[in-house]
Amino acid sequence: MHTGERMKRERWKSGFSEWFDETLWNAKIVETRYPVKGLYVWLPYGLKLRNRVLAIMRELLEKRGHEEMLFPLLIPENLFKKEAEHIRGFEEQVYWVTHGGKDRLDVKLALRPTSETSIYPMFALWIRSHADLPLKVFQVVNIFRYETKMTKPLVRLREVTTFKEAHTAHATPEDAEAQVMAAVEIYKKFFDELGVPYAITKRPPWDTFAGAVYSLAFDTLAPDGRTLQIGTIHNLGQNFAKVYGIKYEREDGSHEHVHQTCYGISERVIAATVMAHGDDLGPCFPPKVAPVQIVVVPIPFKKERNTEEVARKIAEELKATGLRVHFDGRDIRPGRKFYEWERHGIPLRLEIGPKDVNGGQVTTVRRDTGKRFVISLRTLVPDVKKTLEQINEDMRDKAWKSFSENMRELGEIKEIKKAMSTRAGIVRAPWCGKEDCGKELEEKTGGSVLGEELHHKRTGGECPVCSEPAKSSILIAKTY
Q: DSSP readout, 277-319?
A: T-BTTB----TTT-S-SEEEEE--BTTB-HHHHHHHHHHHHHH
What is the C-alpha to C-alpha distance for residues 2 and 463, in angstroms, rounded to an integer? Answer: 48
What does 268 bind: ligand A5A, Zn ion, none (CB cut-off 5 to 8 Å by kind)?
ligand A5A
What does 466 bind: ligand A5A, Zn ion, none (CB cut-off 5 to 8 Å by kind)?
Zn ion
The window from 95-103, 133-141, 349-357, 432-440 that contacts Zn ion (CB under 5 A) reads 432-440
What is the C-alpha to C-alpha distance for residues 276 and 402, in angstroms, rounded to an integer? Answer: 9
Taken in order 434, 439, 445, 448, the sign of the CA dihedral is positive
Question: How far from 311 is each of 299, 300, 352, 366, CA to CA, in Å?
Answer: 9, 10, 6, 18
Identified binder of ligand A5A from the candidate list 50, 86, 156, 202, rule CB under 6 A: 156
Cα 422 from chain centroid (whole Å): 25
The window from 59-67, 269-277, 317-325, 430-438 that contacts Zn ion (CB under 5 A) reads 430-438
The verdict on 311 binding ligand A5A (CB under 6 A) reads no
The verdict on 229 binding ligand A5A (CB under 6 A) reads yes
The window from 174-182, 230-238, 370-378, 428-436 that contacts ligand A5A (CB under 6 A) reads 230-238
Question: How far from 180 is each of 143, 234, 236, 268, CA to CA, in Å?
Answer: 23, 7, 10, 21
**Residues 261-300: x/- map of binding to Zn ion (CB under 5 A)?**
----------------------------------------
Residue 427 backbone dihedrals phi, psi, to 5 degrees: -105, 130
**Residues 135-154: x/- map of binding to ligand A5A (CB under 6 A)?**
----------x-x-------
The verdict on 114 binding ligand A5A (CB under 6 A) reads yes
Q: What is the DSSP letter of 379?
A: G
What does 30 bind: ligand A5A, Zn ion, none (CB cut-off 5 to 8 Å by kind)?
none
What does 264 bind: ligand A5A, Zn ion, none (CB cut-off 5 to 8 Å by kind)?
ligand A5A
Length, in residues, of the chain? 480
The verdict on 262 binding ligand A5A (CB under 6 A) reads yes
Q: DSSP readout, 437-468?
A: HHHHHHHHHS-EEEEEETT----S-B-TTT-P
Contact (Cβ atoms closer than 8 angstroms) between residue 66 and residue 118: no
What is the C-alpha to C-alpha distance for residues 133 and 168, in angstroms, rounded to an integer? Answer: 9
User: What's the min distance (Å) between Cβ of 473 and Zn ion?
Assistant: 13
Total residues binding ligand A5A (CB under 6 A)? 19
**Residues 241-260: x/- map of binding to ligand A5A (CB under 6 A)?**
--------------------
The verdict on 340 binding ligand A5A (CB under 6 A) reads no
Determine how many CB atoms are found less than 10 A away from the CB of residue 364: 18
The verdict on 466 binding Zn ion (CB under 5 A) reads yes
Crossing angle of helices 413-421 and 435-445, in 10° steps, is 50
User: What's the min distance (Å) between Cβ of 242 and ligand A5A?
Assistant: 18
Residues at the site binding ligand A5A, with contacts judged by CB under 6 A: 114, 145, 147, 156-157, 160, 165, 209, 229-232, 234, 262-266, 268
Residues at the site binding Zn ion, with contacts judged by CB under 5 A: 432, 434, 437, 463, 465-466
